């Protein structure tokens, strides 16, 4: 699932070292039925270190998509991509800083990657700048401290972050459109030194920087969080800030199982997940066990706070809370050597949805039970980069867009237990969007669930209008919904390992995952056998407008 908002970044003090704690994948063939063992077997392959975190536009993602395509071929599932293949190439570009680019402070160059790192504009072009005066703009996590936009006009505005953000900072930063540069204080080593985008935009973009806390203090003559908002700072000079932009490999994977009814075979039920994740950690490896211990204890503190005052955002940790956690984490380090980990394996996000989709495809292909309508399985790339693969597919579908009667999306379906958050359990499942376009589709999901051997317990809380998490807008289903295609998003929810190095196969609840995959299979079968298209009885959004939940 893209764009983390609920959890908090983990402090760099835990950095220790580089392999995951992942077990060796289990060998063996899979069966026609959707089973916990099959899901385990597949996920240990798909979320293995050899996939290098499956980041969009990289070799690791190509390896992940090749695994899916090879499995579809073994199952005899019809290719649904371009040119008779399982792939739909997605136009992607890698943007990086050109050699020779420099940033100077007090006449001396700053070190790229440690003192600072730039943003990477999708266009590959930046507005030419020479020297800019820095002004302290305030604390991004407290909007009451921020200076008025006119005070930043023509300058470089430095923004601090006292506590982890609970909202997208983009809307806040947008108020400073007249600033020549945006500078935020963080650890540049944690930022990827390039960007991969699908944008074909060639317009110039503003130069933005992330600088180390030490550099931030030099820019304004002291710790930003102790300085008065609006304090003028030093001048910063830019030299040859230019970017290179080159093609990057990216592709969706698509398979089709034709329907049994000649009259309805031209209509499709789409089932999908995203095949990409976050790659690897550029700031160096961490001790896997210490990191997970820290995350677990931090999650319990935030969950307890939120549960004690319902409706109150969990927020970040206080210095006292962080210190109390480190006491326990440090004791663990003293009794065992570190297990170094640098790869974001993405077992739940979205290895679980990807292999769940593959298991559903196998069940239909090998069981002989097929619906009257056709099934189209799409593993979208670039979800973590902003739903790029699903946007490209829905803008350029390999079957007529109007022939897709519904889309069932799975993203993070392998957790959801009481250990993960208050209210979780072995039958927990969040549903999002199931009635936003079609009341009938929501009713079908409910009815099918009641007929399951172990019905799941649906949580619709995250589907509420205006919910701050905006889950409806944050995974691939929305790219279908914007064209008026009814969708249902199935997820077991966020947890302490979300977007962390510790999201690995050993922490997945495979039986819980099986129940979700079986439900999606059975919903697809029901929708595929209807004697009519799923009725759309709600207003359709503007396909070019911003998503609103």
Query: Among the listed ranges 98-107, 343-352, 389-398, 507-516, which one has the minimum average pLDDT value?
Result: 98-107
Domain that holds residue 291: 286-341
In a domain, 366, yes or no: yes
In a domain, 1, yes or no: no
Query: What average pLDDT does the segment 154-169 reach?
Result: 74
CATH label of the domain that carries residue 168: 3.50.30
Which ranges of 221-338 does DSSP label H, i.e. alpha helix?
A: 288-308, 319-335
**Is residue 131 over pLDDT 70?**
yes
Residues 269, 414 share a domain: yes
| Most confident range, picked from 67-81, 216-230, 331-345 | 67-81
**Is residue 393 over pLDDT 80?**
yes
Give yes or no for a contact between 14 and 341, defined as CB atoms under 8 angstroms apart: no
Judged by DSSP in three states, 255 sits in strand
In a domain, 17, yes or no: no
Residues 199, 309 share a domain: no
**Is residue 392 over pLDDT 50?**
yes
Residues 271, 398 share a domain: yes
Residues 477, 400 share a domain: yes
Residues 230, 121 share a domain: yes
Residues 395, 320 share a domain: no
Residue 88 DSSP one-character state:
E
How far is residue 201's CA from residue 400's CA, in Å, rounded to a whole number?
27
**Is residue 450 over pLDDT 80?**
yes
Residues 103, 73 share a domain: no
For strands 428-432 and 487-491, give the pairing: antiparallel
Under the phi-then-psi rule, with left for phi > 0, alpha for psi from -120 to 50, and beta for the rest, what region is 366? alpha
Query: Tens digits of per-residue pLDDT, 434-448?
Result: 999 999 999 999 999
How far is residue 97's CA from residue 37's CA, in Å, rounded to a whole number?
45
In a domain, 9, yes or no: no
Tokens of 483: 């064209």
Q: Predicted confidence band at 103 (pLDDT cuts at 50, 70, 90)?
A: very high
Distance, CA of 385 to chain centre: 7
User: Of 322, 341, 360, at which residue does a domain stop?
Assistant: 341
In a domain, 106, yes or no: yes
In a domain, 365, yes or no: yes
Give yes or no for a contact between 123 and 195, defined as CB atoms under 8 angstroms apart: no
Judged by DSSP in three states, 337 sits in coil
Is 528 exposed, middle or buried, given 0-12, 13-18 or 19+ CB atoms closer than 10 A? buried
Number of domains in the chain: 3
In a domain, 27, yes or no: no
Give me the DSSP letters along 423-473.
Answer: T--TTEEEEESTTTS-HHHHHHHHHHHHHSSS--EEE-GGGSTT-TT-GGG
Q: Which of 180, 189, 226, 233 is nearest to 210 (CA)?
A: 189
**Is residue 248 over pLDDT 70?**
yes
Phi, psi of 262 (to 5 degrees): -60, -30
261: which residues sit within 8 A by CB, 6+ positions away? Answer: 372, 373
Q: Which of 185, 179, 194, 168 is nearest to 280 (CA)?
A: 194
- Per 3-state DSSP, the chain is made up of helix, strand and coil in percentages (nearest 5) of 35, 20, 45
Query: What average pLDDT does the segment 154-167 reach?
Result: 77
Q: Predicted confidence band at 534 (pLDDT cuts at 50, 70, 90)?
A: very high
pLDDT recorded at residue 468: 86
Residues 136, 258 share a domain: no
CATH label of the domain that carries residue 378: 3.40.630.10
In a domain, 15, yes or no: no
pLDDT recorded at residue 308: 59
Give the number of other CB atoms < 10 A from CB of residue 230: 15
Residues 505, 378 share a domain: yes
Residues 304, 201 share a domain: no
**pLDDT mean across residues, the chain:** 89
Residues 201, 125 share a domain: yes
Residues 174, 160 share a domain: yes
Query: Tens digits of per-residue pLDDT, 16-62?
Result: 223 333 333 344 589 999 999 999 999 999 999 999 999 999 999 99
């Amino acid at each position: 699932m893209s764009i983390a908002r609920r959890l908090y970044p983990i402090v760099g003090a835990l950095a220790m070292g580089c392999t995951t704690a992942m077990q060796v994948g289990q060998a063996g063939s899979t069966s026609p039925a959707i089973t916990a063992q099959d899901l385990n077997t597949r996920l240990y392959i798909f979320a293995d270190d050899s996939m290098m975190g499956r980041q969009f536009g990289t070799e690791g993602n190509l390896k992940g998509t090749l695994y899916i395509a090879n499995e579809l071929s073994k199952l005899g599932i019809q290719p649904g991509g371009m040119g008779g293949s399982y792939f739909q190439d997605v136009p992607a570009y890698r943007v990086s800083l050109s050699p020779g680019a420099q940033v100077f402070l007090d006449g001396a160059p700053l070190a790229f990657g440690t003192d600072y790192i730039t943003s990477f504009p999708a266009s590959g072009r930046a507005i030419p700048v020479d020297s800019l005066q820095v002004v302290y703009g305030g604390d991004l996590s407290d909007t009451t401290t921020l200076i008025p936009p006119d005070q930043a006009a023509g300058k470089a505005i430095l923004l601090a972050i006292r506590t982890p953000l609970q909202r997208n900072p983009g809307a806040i930063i947008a108020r400073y459109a007249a600033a020549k540069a945006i500078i935020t204080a963080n650890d540049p080593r944690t930022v990827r030194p390039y960007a991969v985008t699908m944008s074909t935009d060639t317009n110039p973009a503003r130069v933005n920087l992330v600088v180390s806390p030490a550099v931030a203090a030099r820019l304004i003559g002291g710790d930003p969080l102790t300085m008065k908002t609006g304090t003028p700072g030093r001048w910063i000079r830019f030299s040859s800030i230019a970017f290179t932009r080159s093609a990057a490999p990216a592709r969706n994977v698509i398979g089709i199982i034709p329907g049994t009814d000649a009259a309805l075979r031209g209509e499709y039920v789409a089932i999908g997940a995203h095949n990409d994740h976050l790659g690897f950690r550029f700031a160096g490896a961490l001790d896997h066990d210490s990191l997970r211990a820290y995350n677990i204890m931090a999650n319990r503190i935030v969950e307890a706070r939120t549960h004690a005052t319902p409706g109150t955002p969990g927020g970040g940790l206080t210095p006292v809370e962080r210190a109390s956690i480190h006491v326990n984490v440090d004791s663990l380090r003293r009794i065992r050597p570190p297990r170094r980990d640098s790869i974001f394996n993405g077992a739940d996000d979205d290895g679980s949805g990807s292999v769940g989709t593959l298991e559903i495809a196998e069940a239909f292909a090998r069981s002989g039970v097929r619906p009257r309508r056709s099934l189209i399985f799409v593993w979208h790339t670039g979800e973590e980069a902003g739903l790029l693969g699903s946007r490209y597919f829905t803008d350029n579908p390999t079957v007529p867009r109007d022939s897709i009667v519904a889309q069932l999306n799975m993203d993070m379906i392998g957790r959801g237990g009481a250990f993960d958050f208050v209210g979780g359990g072995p039958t927990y499942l969040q549903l999002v969007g199931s009635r936003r376009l079609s009341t009938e589709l929501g009713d079908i999901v409910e009815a099918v669930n009641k007929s399951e051997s172990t019905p799941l317990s649906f949580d619709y809380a995250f589907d509420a209008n205006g919910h701050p998490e905006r889950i409806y807008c944050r995974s691939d289903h929305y790219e279908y919904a914007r064209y008026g295609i009814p969708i249902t998003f199935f997820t077991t929810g966020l947890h302490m390992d979300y977007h962390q190095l510790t999201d690995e196969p050993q922490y997945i609840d495979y039986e819980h995952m099986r129940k979700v995959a079986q439900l999606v299979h059975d919903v697809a079968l029901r929708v595929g056998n209807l004697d009519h298209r799923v009725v759309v009885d709600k207003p359709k959004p503007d396909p070019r407008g911003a998503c609103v939940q």
